[in-house]
Amino acid sequence: MKHHFEVDGIDYPLWLVRCAEGYRLSMDNGVLASLRFSRQSERRGTLTIAGEREPVRFVIDGETIHLHMRGLARSLRYRDPMRAFASASREANHLMARAPIPGIVLTIAVSPGQSVSAGTALMTIESMKLETTIRAPKDGVVSRIHFKEGESFERDAVLVSLLEEGL
């Protein structure tokens, strides 16, 4: 069966199948063979790739797997293939300005019903003393502003929803 992991917003489809030496992982751009993973404890394990052993530290938090190996930390989100499909179709009619970073809303420059063109400043946000302007991704009409001034949000949260003009 095909599975998906999302890393930094990019979706990586992969296939994991049993083989004589353990598992084989097939991805779009290659194959890793003779894979094994042994757990030593709740948060510690060893990944073996073609006989090479790599210590791994991990925490599984909901659908996100946080891993540390080779001196690097990465978070991978398991994507349920059915749900990924559903959310993609739900977003199709809407244009959204999403938060590039987590933060709080400083000022809001538009109001619902207002027509905006691509690049119009919608709001300013602040995160750890860094100020950023959120701009309209496309032409449209402001349909909903999801946060009030002073409210905080996480990265990728929808800040402002737009409808295409005429809809």
Site residues for other proteins per CB under 8 A? 1, 3, 5, 7-8, 12, 14, 16, 23, 25, 27, 30, 32, 35-37, 39, 43, 45, 47, 49, 54, 56-63, 65-76, 78, 80, 82, 100-104, 126-130, 150, 152, 154-155
Please state, in angstroms and as integers, the Cα–Cα distance from residue 164 to each residue in 111, 136, 138, following that order.
16, 12, 9
Rounded least distance, CB 112 to other proteins, Å: 26
> 77 with 63: CB under 8 angstroms?
yes
Rounded least distance, CB 155 to other proteins, Å: 7
Q: Any idea which residue has 């991704």 for tokens? A: 137
- 36: its two tokens: 């094994």
* Residues 27, 114: Cα–Cα separation, whole Å: 45
Amino acid present at 48? T
Beta carbon nearer to other proteins, 39 or 144: 39
* Residues 9, 17: Cα–Cα separation, whole Å: 25
Beta carbon nearer to other proteins, 21 or 165: 21
Beta carbon nearer to other proteins, 54 or 165: 54
Beta carbon nearer to other proteins, 43 or 165: 43
Rounded least distance, CB 116 to other proteins, Å: 23
What would the DSSP string read from start to end of 12-54? EEEEEEEETTEEEEEETTEEEEEEEEEESSSSEEEEEETTEEE
Rounded least distance, CB 163 to other proteins, Å: 28
Beta carbon nearer to other proteins, 80 or 165: 80
